[in-house]
A and B are shown apart, each in its own frame.
Chain A
Amino acid sequence: MRIEMMQGKSGTEDRVAWSTEPGESPLTLSLSPWEREPLNSSRSAQHRPFSLREKDRMRGCALWPLQLPFALAAAVVLAFTAQPAAAYEAYISNEKGNTVSVIDTDKLEVVKTIPVGQRPRGIAMTKDGKSVIVAAGDSNTIQIIDTKTKEVTGSLPSGIDPELFAFDPAGKLLYVANENDNTVTVIDMETQRQAGSIQVGVEPEGMTVSPDGKTVICTSETSNMAHFIDAKTHEIVSSVLVGARPRFAAFKGDGSELWVSSEVGGTVSVIDPVKHEVKKKITFEVPGLRREAIQPVGLNIAKDGKTVFVSLGPANRVAVVDGQTYEVRKYLLVGQRVWHGAFTPDQKYLLVTNGLSNDVSVIDVAGLKVIKSIQVGREPWGVAIEAQE
């Protein structure tokens, strides 16, 4: 109850005091009193808006002592009512920190920080759960982390500047988008060798594979296309035009729809994968926010396909979209510059990264509430989660 109240309050304030610009330096944040938050337990305290405007800062200061007892109480309530969840580990790539943070999703805290290569972004767990692979773009490699020892044990021949990638359903092939040379590199996970290379549009980024494994999808940011690639022949079967700068693609679990986010266009396209046609373009509107600040990036589709979470970048919100009617049901206030997310395997939580506030927001999937934020490394970007023995 109390948590809910505070969330409401914080949401309202944010609309008034919102001030994050896409180009704003994260350095200005260190001026904020909220940075000195001693208790890493309440989402509302963490995500109070940062503002350069003196008036707003003053107001924030005035509210701060009032909210602390609530935050403490909330933490206590949480601690006692939380169900003992299955122990999962979430791996967060920190783009500027050149590290991967490991979060225990039961305790909801960072348990380990692993140093990796330069500019780690795309991250995923292998099918067997034995490794996590992370694309270190500036090191031109994909590194392999052993999930037992939490150490980098090897690397894959990813091609130049890897950013995002996707496994085939069997987990045997890895498709990597190489932004710098307009190709998709195919890697055989058994031999750890390149098994092919596919020419696509300008600046390939989003990668996914259809649930039946027959179609590989790649979005190219400057061509503004979603390419449908035949997984066997590596031929491009069709290229579908979407909104400007498509960054991420995801299939519904039953393969009936492909969702593609367009960052600059500010839309999400729902594509019929049989007809290769956009059947719905979803737009977003947050009161008090300029359209330009709404930049959809990460997409997380619930297993049943009924709910889709869309990370809106500098809008500092995750939109909750009905997977059937395509209506936006709710906007969840998260941290600054929200990028990508991943569900826990039980679909209880969705963890999303906030690139400018250096934390991860934990969303309660059933309650559609943000319940906590967890400080991680510098500029968190991607998330990978799987069950641990």
Chain B
Amino acid sequence: MGSLKRSFLEAIAAAAMLLALAADAAAVDTAEIKIGYLRRAEQMPAISLLDVAAPDAGLAGAELAIADNNTTGRFLNQKFSVTDVKLGPGEDPAAAVQRLGGEGISLVVTDLPADALLKAADAGRARGMLFFNAGAADDALRGEDCRAGIVHIAPPRSMLADGLAQYLVWKQWLKWVLVSGSHPEDKLFAAALKRAATRFGAKIVEEKEFEDKGGARQTDSGLAEVQRQIPLFTQGLPDYDVLLAADENAVFAAYLPYRTKAARPVAGSAGLSPASWDPSMEQWGATQLQNRFVKQFSRRMRPLDMQAWTAVRMIGEAVTRTKSAEARQVRDYILGASFELAAFKGRALTVRSWDLQLRQPILLSDGKNVVSISPQQGFLHPVSELDTLGYDKPETKCVLK
């Protein structure tokens, strides 16, 4: 009896040792974590030469985060890489997602418009793929069209509008003129600004539309034309404090500052603009990130770059902490209580459980410097002051599925 018991214990000990050895061997093997980067090929238009997007817009941020993840991963035998996929006009996002899935990629950062993102996410659902939306600002993606497989890094229009509105209210610039473009996205941003006015107690004293009739941007004769056109367009307005522009296709907003009839500031799509990041941001150790970016890409870091960086760093953080690159575990971790991302915003960033949107402060930039960062003082919230920006839990239309 005694010897039997002993041999049993010995067997257990031997098995435990084997297991430990196996675990050691697994730890020495480098884990490869492949991340997809799926993006639109077409360039966003710009009025200013300074705003023309670089060919690696967004992707550069992802690549920098890969480098950062790998510096950390070196100590944990984890190696990260990114696979860049560009979707040409008319190309099917679903097919691209199937290809990525076939290569064993289950974590995908996207810079796609809303409809393409939904197609991509639906195509990846069967494989359990997890998408990180770095490029689409549509509130519907976090609302009625939300998906359990899409985490949103890009701030939605409501969050941007609220961030701007809080500052304008803090300034007591409460009378707004709202000029929106004629494209559907312009109407969505205008709606977000109207919602913000209602939420924070500003008044829209007049609304106007600037119709996109095509035509030249800043050409030789265009400049003189614009100088006459804008005062004409902005005359006869009621007394106002600030003119808000909703122009996501760069048709007119950048022409407004210094050209309006009344000497009033411009905000929104031009002038004082809300964003997730600014090339001039220096607070909270951001200088180091900016320096790394410039060193690697010889240009300054823009909001889309930051959104992609953040997405890949979130993946890195989840993989580092959980020692797993499985999409399901990554999702569980970033939605869990222990997730906190340091992203040079002066506080930990977390994810809203009700619509999978990243909570984040919104920077307000004049194009040269960060003027202020929202949430503003005095806008209180019982859970997180970051939840004063965008759709809060009681307002959400999202039912995750």
Besides A22-B346, A243-B340, A264-B342, 9 new A-B residue pairs in contact (Cβ under 8 A), listed by A number:
A23-B283, A161-B288, A179-B285, A201-B75, A222-B313, A223-B75, A225-B75, A245-B285, A292-B384
Query: A129 at the A/B interface (Cβ < 8 Å)?
Result: no
User: When the two chains form their complex, are residues A221 and B283 in contact, meaning their CB atoms are under 8 A apart?
Assistant: no
Given A22-B284, A180-B288, A264-B347, CB of A244 within 8 Å of CB of B72? no
- Judge whether A52 and B76 touch: CB under 8 Å: no
A126: Cβ under 8 A from any B Cβ: no
Q: How far is the CB of A215 from chain B (nearest CB, A)?
A: 16
Judged by a CB distance under 8 angstroms, whether A182 is at the interface is yes
Report the separation of the CA atoms of residues A174 and B342 in the bound assembly, to the nearest whole angstrom.
29
CA distance A210 to B341 in the complex (A): 29
Which positions in B face A, CB cutoff 8 Å? 68, 71-72, 75-76, 283-285, 288, 291-292, 313, 317, 320-321, 340-342, 346-348, 361, 372-373, 377-378, 384-385
Q: Are B340 and A264 in contact (CB under 8 A)?
A: yes
Separation in Å of the A347 CB from the closest CB of chain B?
32
Instruction: Return chain B residues, CB-CB under 8 Å to A220.
Output: 71-72
Interface positions of A (Cβ within 8 A of B) = 19, 21-24, 52-53, 161, 179-180, 182, 201-203, 220-225, 227, 236, 239, 241, 243-245, 263-266, 290, 292
A225 / chain B contacts, CB cutoff of 8 Å:
72, 75
Q: How many A-B residue pairs have CB under 8 A?
A: 76
Are A222 and B340 in contact, with the CB atoms below 8 A?
no
A-B contact pairs, 13 of them (CB 8 A): A19-B377, A21-B377, A22-B347, A23-B373, A179-B288, A180-B292, A202-B71, A203-B288, A224-B72, A227-B75, A241-B321, A245-B342, A264-B347
Q: Are A265 and B377 in contact (CB under 8 A)?
A: no
The reply to whether A202 and B72 contact each other, CB–CB distance below 8 Å, is yes
**How far is A243 from B384 in the complex, measured between Cα atoms in Å?**
19
CA distance in complex: A292, B347 (Å): 6
**Complex partner residue of B71 from A179, A223, A292, CB under 8 angstroms:** A223
Instruction: State the Cβ distance, B385 to closest chain A Cβ, in Å.
Output: 7
CB < 8 Å neighbour of A201 from B72, B284, B288:
B72
In angstroms, Cα B342 to Cα A201, docked, is: 15
A202 to B76, CA, bound (A): 14
Q: Which of A201, A203, A241, A244 contacts B340 (CB 8 A)?
A: A244
Whether A292 and B373, one on each chain, are in contact in the complex, defined by CB atoms closer than 8 angstroms, is: no
| Dominant secondary structure of chain B at its interface with chain A | mixed
Min CB–CB distance A221 → chain B (angstroms) = 7
Q: Which residues of chain A are within 8 angstroms of B321 by Cβ–Cβ distance?
A: 241
Q: Are B320 and A241 in contact (CB under 8 A)?
A: yes
Docked complex Cα distance between A203 and B321 (Å): 18
Instruction: Give me the 3 closest cross-chain CB pairs, A-B, nearest first.
Output: A223-B72, A239-B75, A264-B342
Complex: A219 Cα to B101 Cα, angstroms: 37
Distance in angstroms from B336 CB to nearest chain A CB is 14
Expressed in whole angstroms, the Cα–Cα distance for A264 and B283 within the complex equals: 13
Do B288 and A244 touch across chains, with their CB atoms under 8 A apart? no
Query: Contact between A244 and B341 (Cβ–Cβ < 8 Å)?
Result: yes
Query: Which chain A residues border B288 with CB–CB below 8 Å?
Result: 161, 179-180, 203, 221
A292–B348 CB distance below 8 A: yes
Q: Which residues of B contact A23 (CB under 8 A)?
A: 283, 346, 361, 372-373
A201 x B71 contact (CB < 8 A): yes
Residues from chain B with Cβ under 8 Å of A241 in the complex: 320-321
Residues of B within 8 Å of A263, CB to CB, are: 342
In the complex, the answer to whether A24 meets B377 with C-beta atoms within 8 Å is yes
B320 in contact with A244 (CB, 8 Å): no
Give, as a whole number of angstroms, the nearest-CB distance from B296 to chain A.
12
